[in-house]
Homo-oligomer: A and B are copies of this chain.
Amino acid sequence: MEDKYVIGIDLGGTKISGAVANFKGDVVSQYTLPTKAEEGEKAVLERIITVVEEVIKESNVDKEKIVSIGIGSPGPLDAKEGKIITTPNLPFKNFNIVKPLVDKFHIPTYLDNDANVAAIGEYVFGAGKGTNNMVFITVSTGIGGGAILNGKIYRGNTCNALEIGHMTLEKKGPRCNCGNYGCAEALASGTAIAKAARKQVEKGLSTSLSSYEKITAYEVFKEAEKGDKLAKNILNEALNYLGICVANIITSFDPEMVIIGGGVSKGGDIVFEKVNEVVKTRCFKAMWESTKIVPAALGTDAGVKGAVALAIMESK
């Protein structure tokens, strides 16, 4: 595989980023275009094709040496069929995105959702390198996940495996966007943290958070660090639920590693200390002793790196 290359495409609501990389993940060229989702399916597909063409051209790599294309996209989607079912920030509805690319470039092309692509990225290039079983969790506005089991991405029956944001943790908990009550996402996501804080501020409780015009999870972390009691309590409650979510994942999957990414994971020590503390009280000793809980290693280019990793993994 020394002289073989892949293409990774990160399909996002604002931009389409592409990269040509070798099997070690060394990026030899990158190219980005705005998505302009409002222009519709055909226009966005054309821009994806342009990104692929340009990134090949800029790489100076012989096209014959490019063995696969990986695409990461928001879901829900059908990875097996290569079809984007629907997604809020892209124009594709039940749209097979793989077929037109294969027709055009004659290179095997693979699609997967954001969370799975991030999991594969961490497995191939990031914190999960060398493991055999690992679960990736992203905690930001929502909570999602992906798992590598026995060295392969695990997608489940409908490509919805690891929808762990919608694990019920509190049977009469707050209502979630999905319609259920007490989902992990409604209790421990960045959105949930911000919502809880705003609710308390509106009640007129004494907190340094009331000085902000707009409160997001970021402000809650900031004020908790400075010692604000209310901010600390809100975080403690949310991170307790995140800990239970991680504990339930460990109890179910018995992985070597749980990797936490997304905005909330940037909260640092307070996040990982609390999650570890909860996991230790709630999981079997043999399991928490053998499961490392670590932050994601890939940074801002996780999307493209993950798509490259998907392309590599699928062509092995």
Contacts and interface: CB of A to CB of B under 8 A. Distances in A.
A244 interface: yes
**A-side interface size class:** 35 or more
Number of copies: 2
Contacts of A256: 157
A254 B163 contact: yes
A163 B287 contact: yes
Given A168-B247, A168-B282, A244-B168, A158 B252 contact: no
Contact of A149 (B154, B159, B290): B154
B248 A158 contact: no
A252 B254 contact: no
A107 interface: no
Contact of A290 (B158, B248, B251, B253): B158
A160 B288 CA distance: 11
A286 B291 CA distance: 31
A299 interface: no
A240 interface: yes
Given A149-B149, A150-B154, A168-B282, A163 B251 contact: yes
A281 interface: yes
A120 interface: no
A283 interface: yes
A221 B312 CA distance: 54
Nearest to A160: B254
Interface in A265-288: 281-284, 286-287
B160 A286 contact: yes
A1 interface: no
A162 to B, nearest CB: 6
Interface string A153-183: 0111111111110111111000000101000
A252 B161 contact: yes
14 contacts: A76-B286, A133-B157, A155-B254, A157-B291, A158-B287, A159-B254, A160-B287, A161-B254, A163-B284, A164-B251, A166-B251, A168-B247, A168-B248, A169-B171
Interface of A: 76, 132-133, 149-150, 152, 154-164, 166-171, 178, 180, 240-241, 244, 247-249, 251-256, 281-284, 286-287, 290-291
Given A149-B154, A158-B287, A160-B287, 9 more contacts: A149-B149, A161-B254, A164-B252, A168-B244, A168-B248, A169-B171, A171-B240, A180-B281, A248-B252
